[in-house]
Amino acid sequence: MDTPIFKGLKKYIEEENISFHTPGHKGKNDIINWKKCIPSIDLTEVEGLDNLQDPKGIILESQKLAAKTFKAKETFYSVNGSTGGIYIALSAITNPGDKVLIQRNCHKSVYNGIILNNLIPKYIYPKYNEKYNILTGINPLDIENSLKENPDIVAVVITYPNYYGICSDIEKIVDIVHKYNKILLVDEAHGSHLIFSKNLPMSALESGADIVVQSTHKTLPSFTQTSMIHVGTSRVDIDKLKDMYNLYQTTSPSYIFMASLDITRAYMEDVGRNQLELHLKNIEKFRSQVMEIDRISIFEGDMEDSTIKTIDKTKILINIKGIKGTQLESLLRKKYNIQLEMSDYYYALALTTLMNTEEDFNNFKNVLEDISIKTDYEEKEDFCFKEFKPIVSKPIREGFFSKKASCSLKESVGKVSASFIIPYPPGVPIIAPGEIITKDIYEYILFLKQNDIEIVGLLDYNREKINVVI
């Protein structure tokens, strides 16, 4: 049989990579013996197995247990990932034509939700920390100023923690959003583990957020595409949320996924908490050892940056002097069989979970030391990754659905984009439909391409064309 996907998966498995990447289970079979269960539990809505679209039995019971564990008023399982969860949550707290305040560096799923629900986005911007060449947190006062200037905003959407583990002052943000009687939606895709340790930043639900979407598969040991939608306050209309849930959620949900969510929650309530504390000790040991290696630094925060409230240290952001982040990620995978989550020009990111072992960290430390000794120093061009404030020509939905044609990147300068252009990961748009492609944006895209950063949204084999509005 010709099975290119299956062959590719088998090849990857045979490499025996150490995973500092999603999913959170890290390919381990430790919690239960999934090999004995699959495919026998790949079932559908038969008698006794309940129905995710209208749960009254075992699914409802499991979701209630999850709500208790994560300290939510109600919890809903999303088997369409957090992307589906964001669509549901955003549509539940808005109506078509509403204005919403979002982080410019939010995930693509928020932009997609805006298009699907015909919303009007207003943007707030994270701080660009020039000392460390990294986007950090959101200033709560920027949110307050935006709400004062735009009283017709109905909801605020923030990301917490961000991809690098940086946490804004969410308690202050919650207070401000509620002071103006708005609803706060938190994309906590990378924070489902926070609730399980007092040695980690406060979870969004504990802070008082109204509705929270978590990618359980990213930082806890459930399967890819498994997420949860948590309702935190009575500001959310539960009946409308259920309507939107049934609109966006598949009518053929995977019972394997639902079982994975159920088992992960139970595991974390049992031995998982202690395992997480052991994991945090392994991280501290790893960080202290690696910081002593010549050329290597790990981002620990910046006391002078007021937008950083705390850091989720399960995300390890590594810089080696004289080595690009993209080069480090590639070297680790190809030569040492260590798979990182992502990289940019300056940094490479190791996403760790409680399923990473002490041996994983020891191997990783030894490899980093080997690289620091053996890899030649390369002078890197200084480059500022500040975000571009968009010049909006058309509403995002109109730009997306406009008649379009492709042209070369160089010819696109001054034209209106009909596409999202997104370095991936982390899935944050440089430009969105309806926005003008400036010379600065063109040069920025070229720089990313020249430094081997993958960009989604460009066309043709060489990724040298883009769709523009005609």
Domains and CATH numbers, the chain: 34-265 (3.40.640.10), 396-469 (3.90.100.10)
Instruction: State mean pLDDT over 116-141.
Output: 94
CA 73 distance to own-chain centroid:
23
pLDDT class for 460, splitting at 50, 70, 90?
Answer: confident
Q: What is the mean pLDDT of the chain?
A: 95
Q: Which residue has the tokens 């990961």?
A: 425
Cβ of 141: how many Cβ atoms within 10 Å?
11
**In the chain, pLDDT over 90 holds for what percent of residues?**
87
Strands (E), 227-334: 227-231, 296-298, 310-311, 315-320
Give CA–CA dist 33/42, Å, rounded: 15
Is the pLDDT assigned to residue 424 strictly greater than 80? no
CA 323 distance to own-chain centroid:
25
Q: Give the helix ranges, DSSP H, for 117-267.
A: 140-149, 170-179, 204-207, 216-219, 238-248, 255-267
Q: What pLDDT is recorded for position 429? A: 86
Nearest partner of 129 among 443, 381, 318, 385, judged by Cα? 385
Question: Hey, which of 26-35, 142-151, 418-427 has the most confident mean pLDDT?
Answer: 142-151
pLDDT class for 386, splitting at 50, 70, 90?
Answer: low
Using left for φ > 0, alpha for ψ between -120 and 50, and beta otherwise, residue 26 falls in left
Q: Give the helix ranges, DSSP H, for 337-450.
A: 358-374, 396-401, 409-412, 439-450
Is the pLDDT assigned to residue 1 strictly greater than 90? no
Is the pLDDT assigned to residue 385 strictly greater than 70? no
pLDDT class for 378, splitting at 50, 70, 90?
Answer: confident
- Cβ neighbors of 243 (< 8 A, separation 6 or more) are none
* Helix, strand or coil, per DSSP, at residue 270: helix
Instruction: State mean pLDDT over 350-371.
Output: 98
348-351 and 342-343 as β-strands: parallel, antiparallel, unpaired?
antiparallel
Q: What pLDDT is recorded for position 422? A: 87
